[in-house]
Structure formats: C-alpha cells, structure tokens
C-alpha cells in the first residue's frame, strides 16, 4: 500500500512539473517576458526563444551582425519569425508605406498601437520595438513616459524607439529608461524632423554635421539607450559612431560598418510597385525580390479568369451536395414558385461535376 501511495504521489508531482514547464515555455514566448529571470536563472538561447537585450549584447560583444526589419502587420511578422530576424521594428513609416501619406508625421499613437498588436501576435522570436510617433513625446517627460508605457502595455512591444538628439529628446529617453522601459535611439536623417531639415536629407556630410551625429549618439548612450539607429549618414561617420559607442548601432543607408542593419519589409521585398512608393523608396534599399511584380501578375490573372469564367472551376468549388439532395432542393424550390432558381441549381450541378 505504501509503495502504491508513493507511486501515485510521484506521478502527481511529474504531472505538475510537466504542466508548469509547458506554461513556462509558453510564457517565455510572450512579449515583455525576460528570458533570464531572477527566479528561473539563465537558460540557453535557441532559435525559437524570444530575443532579449541580453542576447543582443552578447551578439554585439562577439561582433556578430544584428538583423532588424521594419514591419507593420501579422503576416510580415510571421515571416520575420521564420527567417530568424533579431529585431522587428514597428515603425512610424507605416504612415507612408501602409497609409499612403507623404511623410511619417500624420500617424497617431492609436494607429501605431493597432500595428504593434498585430505584429506582437505574429512574432514570437524577435525583440519587438515600437516607434513613438510625432507629437507623442515632445511636450514633456510625462507625455513621453505615458506614451512609452502604452506602447508596451497596449501594443505588446518590448522596447520603444524615439528620434532625434535635441536636449529635450535626450531627456525624454532618459526618463523612459528610468521608468523601466528599454529605448532605442535614432540619429542622422530623422524623418519626424523634416520640417527643420528641409526634407528627407542625409546628415553628417560636413564636419559639423558629422561631429553632431557622433555626439548625439553618445548622448543617447549616456541616457541609457540600448542601441542607436544611424540613418542616411556617410559610412565613415557611421564607423566613427560605432567605434565611439559601447552599444550597437543599426545602420540604414549608413554603410557596412554598423553593428547591424535595418530595412523596411516592403522595400527589401520589392513589394510595392506604384508611383507613390517609387517616390518614397530610398536609394540605399536593396531589393532582394520583386514581389510587387508577382502580386500584379497574380491579380491580373485572377481578374482575367473571373471575367472569362474559368475561375472558380470544379477544383475550387469543393463543397458538394448529393444528387438526392439536389432533387429534393429543386422540388422545394418548385413548391416555392421559384422555377428559374430550380433550373439554375440543376444546371450548376451538371456543370460543376468534374469530368470523369
């Protein structure tokens, strides 16, 4: 009896442990849950675990390039997961790429949160970073912290990104970090500042501007940022900033000497082929595919087949009704006074039957 009681107790313990381990495994795949907690201890990294700041620091220390892609929805997030991308940025560039605006300025916090939540549902592996849109953090540190909190709590992000290196932006970054939220900085061409930059203009192309890029990057590091995006600056300037910093730099149009690279999902896939997107597609973007051409071809073929009646055919009309039920259905339609409908059903049944 004692042996049986002991065996049952051990089985219950194993069951509890199995359930606990499954729950912990699921929890670790959720956004905002650190990989290494003070209670759980360090766990080995693998391809399926969410990337954390610790993981990024390890890659940077080893000199391993960091991959980052800007994406805005669930399907693209799933693709980033499959490809093993390190960081997914939900960028305010959604204003241009998804919403069709000419700048990033119009997008709101609420609109950004919709994109953030969609990406968070699709990406189980990358570190998720959400942009603070224009007008959501400039007024005060309280506004900046409140917006950053929303991006994490309501958007499911792991960190936020903010643009610029003005003293107020540095102060905002510091306040957000002190609130317990990871911050990625962004210097060089900062699209939210096109009003004062005079358009989408590269930075760091003269001595003063180049020095400012490096100084601003260092100030953001001092404020507690875990990484800095360098956008549209000459490669030597990016190399200098990368050397001066102890945190990773993520380049976009900044040459090969950064700690990592970022491109927009739609841009690198060559997804959008229309005049608006041609107007805003950056010169530095390499297209690794021409998905837009494939999409256009598929849409035209679909349109043609609908017009000529070849789609949908029997192969794409899978839901069947038996011959006896067809007869009963036609009889019911006749009783309802719908003779034409009964004839239509009979003709459809004959045409949809696959050729034997």
For 123-248, strand residue ranges (E) read 127-131, 159-161, 182-188, 227-231
- Per residue in 178-229, pLDDT (tens digit) is 999 999 999 998 766 665 555 557 778 899 999 999 999 999 999 999 999 9
| 0.85 exceeded by pTM | no
What number is the average pLDDT over the span 136-164? 96
- Per residue in 263-290, pLDDT (tens digit) is 999 999 998 765 445 555 677 889 999 9
Of 3.30.505.50, 3.20.20.60, 3.40.50.970, 3.30.499.10, the CATH number of 53-291 is 3.20.20.60
Active site residues: 231
**Helix H or strand E encompassing 69:** strand 66-70
Binned at pLDDT 50, 70 and 90, residue 23 comes out as: very low
Using CA atoms, how far apart are residues 278 and 237, in angstroms rounded to an integer?
Answer: 28
What number is the average pLDDT over the span 20-37? 45
Find where tokens 């950004």 sit: 112
pLDDT of residue 45: 40
- Per residue in 308-335, pLDDT (tens digit) is 999 999 999 999 999 999 999 999 999 9
pLDDT of residue 10: 53
- Per residue in 71-109, pLDDT (tens digit) is 999 999 999 999 999 999 999 999 999 999 988 999 999
Q: Tell me the Ramachandran region of residue 353: left when phi exceeds 0, alpha when psi lies from -120 to 50, beta otherwise.
A: beta
What number is the average pLDDT over the span 47-71? 93
**Helix H or strand E encompassing 329:** helix 323-335
Find where tokens 């990871």 sit: 182
In this structure, are residues 259 and 250 in contact, taking their beta carbons and an 8 Å threshold?
yes
Q: Tell me the Ramachandran region of residue 253: left when phi exceeds 0, alpha when psi lies from -120 to 50, beta otherwise.
A: left
Quote the percentage of the chain above a pLDDT of 90.
Answer: 71
What ranges do the domains of the chain cover? 53-291, 321-355
Copy the structure tokens of residue 25. Answer: 């495994």
Average pLDDT of the residues of the chain = 86
Quote the percentage of the chain above a pLDDT of 70.
Answer: 80
């Amino acid at each position: 009896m004692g042996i049986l009681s002991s065996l049952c107790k051990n089985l219950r313990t194993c069951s509890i442990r199995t359930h606990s381990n499954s729950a912990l495994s699921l929890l670790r795949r959720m956004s905002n849950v650190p990989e290494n907690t003070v209670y759980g201890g360090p766990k080995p990294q693998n391809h399926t675990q969410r990337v954390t700041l610790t993981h990024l620091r390890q890659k940077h220390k080893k000199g391993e390039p960091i991959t980052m892609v800007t994406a805005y929805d669930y399907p693209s997030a799933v693709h980033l997961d499959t490809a093993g991308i390190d960081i997914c940025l939900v960028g305010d560039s959604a204003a241009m790429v998804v919403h069709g605006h000419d700048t990033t300025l119009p997008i709101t916090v609420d609109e950004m949160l919709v994109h953030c939540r969609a990406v968070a549902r699709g990406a189980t592996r990358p570190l998720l970073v959400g942009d603070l849109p224009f007008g959501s953090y400039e007024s005060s540190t309280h506004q900046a912290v409140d917006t950053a909190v929303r991006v994490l709590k309501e958007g499911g992000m792991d960190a936020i990104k903010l643009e610029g290196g003005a003293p107020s932006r540095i102060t905002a970054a510091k306040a957000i970090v002190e609130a317990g939220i990871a911050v990625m900085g962004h210097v060089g061409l900062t699209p939210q500042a096109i009003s004062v930059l005079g358009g989408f203009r590269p930075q760091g192309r003269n001595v003063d501007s180049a020095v400012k890029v490096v100084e601003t990057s260092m100030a953001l590091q001092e404020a507690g940022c875990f990484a800095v995006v360098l956008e549209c600056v000459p490669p030597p300037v990016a190399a200098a900033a990368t050397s001066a910093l102890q945190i990773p730099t993520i380049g976009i149009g900044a040459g090969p000497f950064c700690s990592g690279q970022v491109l927009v999902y739609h841009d690198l896939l060559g997804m959008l082929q229309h005049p608006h997107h041609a107007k805003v597609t950056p010169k530095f973007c390499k297209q690794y595919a021409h998905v837009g051409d494939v999409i256009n071809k598929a849409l035209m073929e679909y349109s043609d087949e609908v017009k000529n009646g070849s789609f949908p055919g029997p192969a794409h009309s899978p839901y069947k009704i038996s011959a006896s039920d067809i007869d009963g259905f036609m009889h019911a339609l006749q009783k309802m006074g719908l003779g034409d409908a009964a004839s239509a059903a009979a003709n459809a049944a004959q045409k949809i039957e696959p050729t034997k």
